[in-house]
Each structure stands twice: as C-alpha cells, then as structure tokens.
C-alpha cells in the first residue's frame, strides 16, 4: 500500500520550500528549468539523506552470495553488495542477528569477512518513492 508521495511531489515540496511557485508536472519536462534542476539534484539528495539514518521504510536484510575471487588480505571471503545498497548497517553470521565475534569490512562494493553465510542489513535506494515514510520524503525535499 502506497501512502507516501512520489518524486514529483517531493520535488514540488522542495521548490515550495525555496519560495518558488514554478511547480513541475514531471521530472523530464525539457522546457521547465525547475524540472531540469530537480532531475539533476534529486538522485543525489535521496542518496545523501538515506545514508544519514537507518530509515525502516528503506532497509532490507539479504543473504549474500560469495564472490568467486577471494580477498588477498585479512579475510578469506568476499561478497558483493546488492546493487541498490546505499549503506551497510550491519553484517550478521546467522539469521539470529548480532554476534560480537562477527568481523567484516567494505572494500570496493564488497563485504570482506570470514563468515560462511553473511546476512547484510542495509539501506537501499527505493524504486517507488511512494513507499517512503512521509517524514523521509520531507527530509529529502529539505535537502
């Protein structure tokens, strides 16, 4: 169920916060200076805001698949981050969650660890902005 607002509404909120009334109908209108600016800056604003906090509406947990090539230093295994991962929150060695012995690092969009089956909890870039919490949408608009 979508309860939030889409990217055009988020951009229109930002436009209004700037004191303008040049609201847009779409991000792809080539004749609208506001649409061109929103199209240019919106993706960066989303990523910046998502990296600042563990937004529940934009977090997921996945079991990572091991890369064929192992790290050459410190750890024995490497696992690629999901394509939509904007920030890793934590990596767990089991579905039970946190263990104080779990060790990992991020290197070039890979998780390096000695864990056999790592679970990644992460913040993702949403495909549908209407799924975001309204407070997150407002924070993006204010960015």
Q: Determine the pLDDT at residue 115.
A: 93
Spatial neighbors of 138 by CB under 8 A, at least 6 apart, are 13
Q: What's the burial of 74, exposed, middle or buried (CB within 10 Å: 0-12/13-18/19+)?
A: exposed
pLDDT at 1 over 70: no
pTM passes above 0.75: yes
Phi, psi of 10 (to 5 degrees): -60, -45
pLDDT at 90 over 70: yes
What is the C-alpha to C-alpha distance for residues 31 and 29, in angstroms, rounded to an integer?
Answer: 5
pLDDT at 116 over 50: yes
pLDDT band at 2 (very low <50, low <70, confident <90, very high): low
pLDDT at 8 over 80: yes
Q: Determine the pLDDT at residue 94.
A: 82
């Amino acid at each position: 169920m979508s309860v939030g607002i889409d990217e055009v509404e988020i951009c229109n909120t930002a436009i209004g916060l700037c004191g303008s009334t040049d609201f847009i109908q779409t991000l792809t209108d080539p004749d609208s200076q506001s649409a061109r600016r929103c199209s240019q800056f919106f993706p960066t604003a989303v990523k910046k805001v998502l990296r600042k906090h563990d937004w529940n509406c934009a977090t997921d947990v996945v079991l990572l698949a091991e890369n064929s090539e192992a790290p050459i230093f410190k750890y024995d295994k490497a696992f690629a981050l999901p394509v939509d991962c904007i920030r890793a929150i934590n990596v767990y060695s089991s579905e039970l969650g946190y263990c104080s012995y779990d060790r990992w690092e991020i290197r070039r969009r890979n998780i390096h660890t000695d864990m056999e089956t790592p679970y990644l909890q992460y913040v993702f870039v949403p495909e549908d902005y209407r799924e975001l919490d309204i407070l997150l949408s407002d924070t993006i608009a204010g960015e």
